[in-house]
Amino acid sequence: MYKELFIVRNRYVDSVSLMNVQARAMDEGGVHLAEVQMGTPINIHVLKEMGFDVPSDAELSDLLIGVEAEDAAACERCRQLIMDLLDHKEVGGGDETYSSLDEIDFEATGYNLVQISIPGEYVVEETKKAVDKGCDVYIFSADISLEEELEIKEYGRDHHKLIMGPDCGVAQLNGVCLGAGSIYNYGPIGIVAASGSGSQEVGAVIERCGFGLTNLIGTGGRDLSKVVGGTAMMEGIKRYEVDPETKVIVLVSMLADRGVMDKVLSFADGCSKPVVAIFLGSDEKLFEGHKVHGTFSLEEAGLKAVELLTGKPAKQGYSDDELEAIAAEELKKYAPGQNLYRGYFMGGTFAEETLVYLTTHTDGIEFWSNRKNDYVKKLPDSFKSVGNTILDLGDTDFTTGAVHPVFDNTIRDRRMIKDLEECGDVAVVMIDFIGGPGLDFDPFEKTVKAFKDAEARTGRHITVIANIVGTYEDPQDFKTYVPYLRENGMIVTGSNMQSAKLARMIMEGLKK
């Protein structure tokens, strides 16, 4: 066996690209291991633990390629493949590649969107340059200040261009899926969202009701902060207001600055089209005096949009009566003393929606989380569950220097096995699966195996409630895997809120 580390100086590559390239490299003949990472301290530590000799002068901006293969020739072939993929030199590809925006003739090519994934220090300059070229901008990069975010969003607004981001994980424009989003059918509903996984859920509910989206405009999670002031969300509303194909508008965000939320709602009141809003964790008071249709769950927002479109109440998934019947059956299967809940979420919005719902709809049951929230107790150690625990596995606690679980859900499966083996009193588990072209293509079989192993070792029945966030156009093949999950003992609901309701019904039953 031959092992070698290659270093490419001053070559920044975003985490999504690295994950996809690494997966392709692992399929190369004769290659047993391929690690493609930026030179962060934790990545350097991991590579050293794997036995790679990392130069002492490796820096954050350096690309590190660790390969273990049958021989030196196989290592070199793998390195070359990785570099070709990063340089977009795929066999049969034929796409044009550029080293800067200045090399592109935007008028001749017709390009009208620029996606930016570069170190934060260059984001402002490149964003303004893209706007000057007449383009909307999608920014995956995250590390810029709030003041810089406001600067580029106001620049986009003044030039009538969308600035999606920074740290925008999900969007779809003119049928093109951006970031980690799903592929939606075309339809008459438009979404503007400061929540990536939340907007995916709303879009999935709309599609299950038989409709689609004109666009999904992401804003980045800080758009409704006091500094940024909802600038991008209001620009998205403007874009839909003049689009003849968009008949209903949906606004999606977690709870943000109350003054900014009210400002955005007041702006939306001026629309000639119906507007639905879900500001997760808000109350009815927020929507008092506004024309906007306030909703209080992601599922409700999607269903309300369909109702406003068709004039008829919409539904999908399980009814409350059906969930009660499922809960009654599950309550017959537990051993004495089995009464705890665990939630393992890849989508931060789903963790938030769940903890808000469970803590406000159950009496006398205490919940812990790694999320900072007024509703739950903060875990002393994010890597050790306590009692009834709700985990956001996409939080920086788990993703700093590591792959986000939507790209590889191993982190979730390992944590679930560890928890269930250490605590035999767990009765109910909630999980999510998130789809999209850039994500883990086959997350299901690994999780089923993890669940089966844990259940076998504990010797107890465990209720696993799963919510699939995705569409039938996504490569994860949900049509096949929904029955597969059910055949393997999981309960697959129609939304995260349905999963939370079922968990609450079981927890209350166990308490009684």
pLDDT tier for residue 90 given thresholds of 50, 70 and 90 = low
Domains in the chain (CATH in brackets) are 2-86 (3.30.70), 101-310 (3.40.50.261), 320-511 (3.40.50.261)
| Among candidate residues 116, 109, 273, 200, the one with its CA nearest the CA of residue 433 | 200
Q: Are 84 and 36 in contact (CB under 8 A)?
A: no
- Residue 92 is predicted with a pLDDT of 46
- Length of the chain, in residues: 512
Q: Record the pTM.
A: 0.87
pLDDT tens figures, 166-204: 999 899 999 888 888 899 999 999 999 999 999 999 999
pLDDT tens figures, 91-106: 445 567 777 898 999 9
Q: Which pairs count as long-range contacts for 272-276, CB under 8 Å and 24+ apart, including other chains?
A: 272/241, 273/240, 273/241, 273/246, 273/247, 273/248, 273/249, 274/247, 274/248, 274/249, 274/308, 275/237, 275/248, 275/249, 275/250, 275/251, 276/248, 276/249, 276/250, 276/251, 276/301, 276/304, 276/305, 276/308
Structure token pair of residue 32? 């047993």
Rounded Cα–Cα distance for residues 35 and 26 (Å): 9
- Residue 91 is predicted with a pLDDT of 43
User: If you ran DSSP here, which 8-state letter would residue 88 be given?
Assistant: T
| Residue 439 in this model has a pLDDT that exceeds 90 | no
Rounded Cα–Cα distance for residues 338 and 304 (Å): 38
Comparing 14-28, 81-95, 173-187, the range with the smallest average pLDDT is: 81-95
Rounded Cα–Cα distance for residues 134 and 235 (Å): 16
Tell me the average pLDDT across 46-56. Answer: 89
Tell me the average pLDDT across 378-407. Answer: 86
| Residue 57 in this model has a pLDDT that exceeds 70 | yes
Tell me the average pLDDT across 50-71. Answer: 91
